[in-house]
Homo-oligomer: A and B are copies of this chain.
Amino acid sequence: MTTGVPDQPWRGPKSSQRLAHVLAQPILSGQVREGDRLPNEAEMMARYGAGRPTVREALRLLETRGLIMLKTGPGGGPIVRRPPKGSLSEALSLVLQVEGASFADVTDARIALEPMIARRAAERITEPQLAELEDSIKQLRDHPGDHDVFVAENQRFHTLIAEAAQSVVLDVFVSTLQTIADGVRVGVEYSARKQSAIAAAHASIVEALRAGDPERAEQAMRDHLAEAERYWRHRYPELMTRPVQWTY
């Protein structure tokens, strides 16, 4: 009891958590698919012998975890979705705020992780992935100074390399850090000249990947990120000390 209102007992976390996990199984196993509708609250209460507060809490937990979307209005209800790989960012940003991490700490982790990922990618990358990376560089070069193209292609480039490394875990980590502290998202701007230098850095990385040269790919990625960090420290010094904030 937290409220002193005896006729509305506060349900322990266990019953709603257990129900959430029962409800999650057909979603996680792929038995129901993105866009499918789950039974409504009344049906769930009947089917699982659970009270309305338990069912609501269970649905809210699944919504928090990105497994369903609760559509309101007539004809609404719980709709199955697939949590995006970036969905960890809420949970991670919270832990990092608690730990007192700064934007510099996140950048530093990217500089530690991504060269190692580029090394792995050099050993595993496929021809279609190389072609996609080369297309990304072409887009940058065909749209000099276009901020939106730059933002999209920069993110696409780093995501493609994380995918090419064929580690779903590392891929998830990189996506999450990108969401939490991408320079562009927090207001870093690049001149046309700087964008062209970045396209050249991307091209060096792709050459190393195409050559299947892990050491060179690792070094090229390290140089690229270290250069980005230098630029941020020089142009946006206050940014680096900014604490990570729980984002939602």
Contacts and interface: CB of A to CB of B under 8 A. Distances in A.
Interface of A: 1-5, 8, 10, 12-13, 16-17, 21, 24, 28, 40-42, 52-53, 56-57, 59-61, 63-65, 67, 70-74, 76-78, 82-83, 85, 87-88, 90-92, 94-101, 105-106, 108-109, 112-113, 116-117, 120, 167-170, 172-173, 177, 246, 248
Contacts of A41: 2-3, 5
A10 B70 contact: yes
Contacts of A63: 13
B70 A112 contact: no
A27 to B, nearest CB: 8
B168 A99 contact: yes
Contacts of A98: 28, 82-83
Contacts of A17: 248
A105 B165 CA distance: 12
Given A61-B64, A172-B99, A21 B92 contact: no
Contact of A173 (B57, B67, B173, B248): B173
A152 B108 CA distance: 30
10 contacts: A2-B70, A2-B71, A2-B72, A2-B76, A10-B72, A82-B98, A88-B95, A95-B172, A96-B172, A101-B169
A44 B245 CA distance: 24
Contacts of A74: 1
Contact of A40 (B4, B53, B76, B87): B4
Nearest to A100: B168
Contacts of A42: 3-5
A169 B21 contact: no
Contact of A112 (B71, B96, B170): B170
A246 B21 contact: yes
Contacts of A64: 61, 64
Nearest to A3: B41
Contact of A1 (B2, B13, B73, B116): B73
Given A1-B76, A2-B41, A109-B169, A65 B94 contact: yes
Given A60-B60, A92-B172, 5 more contacts: A4-B42, A5-B41, A10-B76, A12-B72, A106-B169
